[in-house]
Amino acid sequence: MQLQERYPYYLANRPEQPNADLEVTDKYTGQLAARVALADSAAIDRAIAAAVAATEPMARLAPFERQAVLEHCAGRFCERADELAYSLCVEAGKPIRDSRGEVSRLIDTFRIAAGEATRIGGEVLNLEISPRARGYWGMYKRVPIGPCSFISPFNFPLNLAAHKIAPAIAAGCAFVLKPASRTPVGALVIGEVLAETDLPPGAFSILPCHRDAAELFTTDERLKLLSFTGSSTVGWDLKARAGKKKVVLELGGNAACIVDEDVDLADAVQRMIVGAFYQSGQSCISVQRILVHDRVYDELRDRLVEAAGKLQMGDPKEEETFIGPMIDEAEAERLERWIRAAEDAGGRVLCGGRRDGVMLEATLLENVPKDQPLCADEAFGPVAVLERFSDFDAALDEVNRSAYGLQAGVFTRDVYKIQRAWDRLEVGGVIIGDVPSWRVDSMPYGGVKDSGLGREGIRYAIEDMTEPRLLVVRTPNRK
């Protein structure tokens, strides 16, 4: 199997093949894997104009028609699952087993959206709250917000694009999408499938482009919502320049996991190995900080080190590979520098820490000072830091001592500690008995503090992509 030699972009539902190309490399070999059409600012302007023109036709689509589009997509993704998984493996360097998992989530996301498309409702309001309001009653319905702008990241090129595209179709919103320049192929395959449907002309555009051509995705006043997934630095800058449009940001994190003294250590180790090193730790909810009760610290540390040492690293196309390449060598070099800096500051490398090109070993450290980037910033790679605690409430405070607040994991069997964690942890989600990396595509997902604004998850994204429209009726002479 191999990628197509060249992929078109999609402008106003139609494939276009301009002369400019963006090269997509195989992230493991570094070799050219495909070329995709590259959009310029003029193409983006045309796409936004087409989305504006499609606003009313999209809003007029009946719920069952939106549902049919989404169901068609889910069916076609099932038929093309092997192709989609292979493209992920090549363009993102994601191990093939994990790539198949992301394809299954892509399908889930569109299926969930198909169901939600027919459940967008409203509410009847009792307005007779005082004599002044006698004879008045009301109701509201949710209506599409209008043309949306989406910017998706490299680490989940299919499913994180789907978390914007699918709810937009369910809500009846036209959209323009900029996929990550390093991993545009998956989004373009989604565009190919959408082009098979009866969506109104201009309903969607999927436009790979360089950052210097992408300004309109953020600043154009014709767009009513900007949804961005990516780094905190970029996300907050986009928000500052977005103008009056609504902004949803799903940004970074340095997710923490608390392991109390009463848990099944074998289970906790198995889950944390996945949470820390799945797809080379390139996830905003990857386990980065592990806080372990002093009574089980030594045993848990030794088990983690043993398990990490058994992970197979190599070609992501091989079935047994668990750790593939990082997205590029510059990112691998950055994280290697962070590891060396932590060592120089007194941290101890327990396992891993060595780099070979884009490959970085699964790495665990302890005794790392809190001001080091491996503790304070987002590592976004196969690295986790261990530390001890003796007081559960102090551990909660330590989790909160972060600029980020996306999700946190807590391994404990104490129901009172579970309640305290849910009450006190300053995060968007608390995962009990598992790692913060756990997610299903129907749940509300997002963070607080530097981790972002708003929530994804289909039903919650639809809320952002729609607005309540009120109707008030007066009944004269009502006694």
* CATH of the domain spanning 256-440: 3.40.309.10
345 pLDDT above the threshold of 70: yes
Instruction: Compute the mean pLDDT over every residue in the chain, rounded to the nearest whole number.
Output: 97
pTM above 0.85, yes or no: yes
Residue 17 confidence (pLDDT): 94
Residue 42 confidence (pLDDT): 96
In single-letter form, the type of residue at position 96 comes to I
Query: What integer is the mean pLDDT of 60-67?
Result: 98
Query: What integer is the mean pLDDT of 134-162?
Result: 97
Residue 479 confidence (pLDDT): 67
Tell me which of 91, 102, 250, 361 is the catalytic residue.
Answer: 250
Residue 239 confidence (pLDDT): 97
pLDDT tens, position by position, 2-61: 898 999 999 999 999 998 999 999 999 999 999 999 999 999 999 999 999 999 999 999
Strands 6-7 and 289-293: unpaired
Active site residue 257: no
Residue 313 confidence (pLDDT): 97
With cut-offs at 50, 70 and 90, classify the pLDDT of residue 343.
very high
Query: What integer is the mean pLDDT of 244-269?
Result: 97
Active site residue 89: no
Contacts of 179 (CB under 8 A, 6+ apart): 152, 157, 161, 186, 187, 188, 206, 208
Domain coordinates in residue numbering, the chain = 6-251+452-469, 256-440
CATH superfamily membership of 6-251+452-469: Aldehyde Dehydrogenase; Chain A, domain 1 (3.40.605.10)
- In the chain, the percentage of residues whose pLDDT exceeds 70 is 100
Query: What integer is the mean pLDDT of 95-121?
Result: 97
Question: 216 vs 47, 84, 453, CA distance in Å?
Answer: 10, 29, 21
Contact 204, 165 (CB under 8 A): yes
Tell me which of 73, 148, 284, 375 is the catalytic residue.
Answer: 284
